[in-house]
Amino acid sequence: MITLPYADQKIGQKEMVFIVANVVIGVGILTFPRTLAAKTGSIDGWISILISGLVASVIGWLLGKLASRFPANSFFEYASLIVSRPVAQVITFLVGIYFLLFVSFEARALGNIAKQYLFTTTPVEVITLAFLLIVQYAVAGTRIALLRLNMLFFPIVLLISAVVQLYSIQMLELDNVRPLFTTGLGALLQGSKEVNLSFSGYEVVLFYTLLMTRAEDAPKAVVKGLLIPIFLYLTIYIFVIGVFSAEVVKNLTYPTIELAKDVEVPGGFIERVESLFFTIWIMTIFNSCTVFFDLAIFNLGSIFPNVRKFTWLLIISPLVYMISLWPQNLVQFFSLGDQLVYFGIFITYLVPILLLLIAKWRGVRGDE
């Protein structure tokens, strides 16, 4: 097989920015206004978004720093360099499990929403299965093609969110927004904790920096990538609260989709925009899923290098499917999501930051 210079397996800073943004924007954006409104009770939640965005950026920057210290090593390799091989094996295994669980969670979330908004009679098992099969097909291809898919779908996703917001402008009511600055600092921080869960995903920088042509750009790329979701979350939150008021939003399961539901396209060309919105939103959920799936295989595969990628796919896929069907109802489902995110915070934020500190302290560097 020949390779032309640009068609190699490398990504640039621009790609990294988009991948981070795309992975972060997933299911979280559809639900976060509810939890945020429940905690803050007013429009002031935007401050929480800013706070959590800032926290995410700082963590992301640190993760980027860690990864760019080892521009040619995989996560498992540099973890082994920093804290001995056995410890690295445990960490990498947990990371792989975390991504595996995350895929299950997102797939189930997609199944739930599709069942609620697109077809009520089709069982969620079938919806999830169809989706997971497509994700597996994407993961079975090359890693670079998967990242290029992200680049392809991202503009479509941004466009549809912009359209929904644009058409919501006429439904904004100032009464819903006022009064400003009534929420206490405690509630704001609580709220920002909730939003933080929706920012998870930027940890991909730990694993994909390996593919970057200039690894030293990684920290910058993460922060730039996070700016897009921060901005999107801010506008979505303001619009959702502005249209429905905080009291109503607390009781909507998927406030962002409900926002699309109220949109009326002039001319009556299309009705029930929320179905269309969600249909297109499948693309971004798909993107996050493929990336997480790929990382699950990548991390588990780096511990057991003798097993081929395709074998991993065959082992993991049924697992993912079964786990995704685990929660019996929405309450269980969301609590699974919360626990998952706490697990993720520990294993993909705290542990890598610890790794960075140890690396600095011991002066470990990767091969150039």
Partner 1 sequence: MFRRVWEKWKNEAVASRRKQQSSHSDQQASNKTPLSESLQENLDIIKQRLGNPQDLIIRPFLIDNSGRACAVACIDGLVDSELVHDKVVKHIQLLMSPAGKAIPAPDEDIMAFMLNEVLSIIEVKTGTTMEEVLDAMLVGDTAFFVDGSHTTILIDSRGWETRGIEEPVSEGLVRGPRDGFNENIRDNTVRIRRRVRDPKLRFDATTVGRRSKTDLIVAYIEDIAHPNIVNEIKRRISTIDIDQVEESGYIEQWIEDNFLSPFPQVQNTERPDKVASALFQGRVAIILDGTPMVLLAPVTLGIMLHSPEDFYERWMVGSLARVLRYLASYLAVFSPALYIALVTFHPGLIPSDLAFSIAATRDGVPFPAAVESLIMVTTMELLQEAGLRLPKPIGQTVGIVGGLVIGEAAVSAGIVSPVMVIVVAITAIASFAIPSYNLAIAFRMIRFGAMLAAAMFGLYGVVLAFILIVIHLTNLTSIGVPYLAPLAPQLVSDWKDYILRAPITFFKKRPDMLQTKDKTRMKAGRSQ
Residues that bind partner 1 (CB under 8 A): 1-7, 14, 114, 118-119, 122, 127, 130-131, 134, 137-138, 140-142, 145-146, 148-149, 151-153, 268-272, 275-276, 279-280, 282-283, 286, 310
Minimum separation from the CB atom of position 145 to partner 1 (A)? 4
Strand partners, 11: 212
Minimum separation from the CB atom of position 289 to partner 1 (A)? 11
Nearer to partner 1, 282 or 341 (CB): 282
Nearer to partner 1, 151 or 323 (CB): 151
Minimum separation from the CB atom of position 4 to partner 1 (A)? 5
Report d(CA 366, CA 347) in Å as an integer: 21
Residue 284 near residue 25 (C-beta atoms within 8 A): yes
Residue 364 C-alpha from the chain's centroid: 30
Cα separation values, 96 from 90, 103, 238, 293, 341, Å:
10, 11, 36, 9, 14
Nearer to partner 1, 10 or 193 (CB): 10
Minimum separation from the CB atom of position 171 to partner 1 (A)? 20
What are the tokens at 332? 């269980």
Residue 99 near residue 299 (C-beta atoms within 8 A): yes
CB atoms within 10 A of CB 353: 16
Nearer to partner 1, 179 or 268 (CB): 268
Nearer to partner 1, 272 or 362 (CB): 272
Minimum separation from the CB atom of position 236 to partner 1 (A)? 21
Minimum separation from the CB atom of position 291 to partner 1 (A)? 13
What residues contact residue 231 under an 8 Å CB cut-off, 6+ apart? none
DSSP 251: T
Minimum separation from the CB atom of position 336 to partner 1 (A)? 23
What are the tokens at 205? 């920088």
Minimum separation from the CB atom of position 26 to partner 1 (A)? 15
Minimum separation from the CB atom of position 256 to partner 1 (A)? 18
Nearer to partner 1, 295 or 351 (CB): 295
Output phi, psi for 187, to 5 deg. -65, -40
Residue 318 C-alpha from the chain's centroid: 22
Nearer to partner 1, 85 or 272 (CB): 272
Q: DSSP 3-state assignment of 11?
A: strand
Nearer to partner 1, 145 or 315 (CB): 145
Report d(CA 259, CA 263) in Å as an integer: 7
Respond yes or no on whether the N-terminal peptide bond of residue 179 is cis (omega within 30° of 0). Answer: yes
CB atoms within 10 A of CB 165: 18
Nearer to partner 1, 119 or 342 (CB): 119
Residue 250 near residue 106 (C-beta atoms within 8 A): no
Report d(CA 169, CA 243) in Å as an integer: 9
Residue 141 near residue 212 (C-beta atoms within 8 A): no
What are the tokens at 336? 């699974």
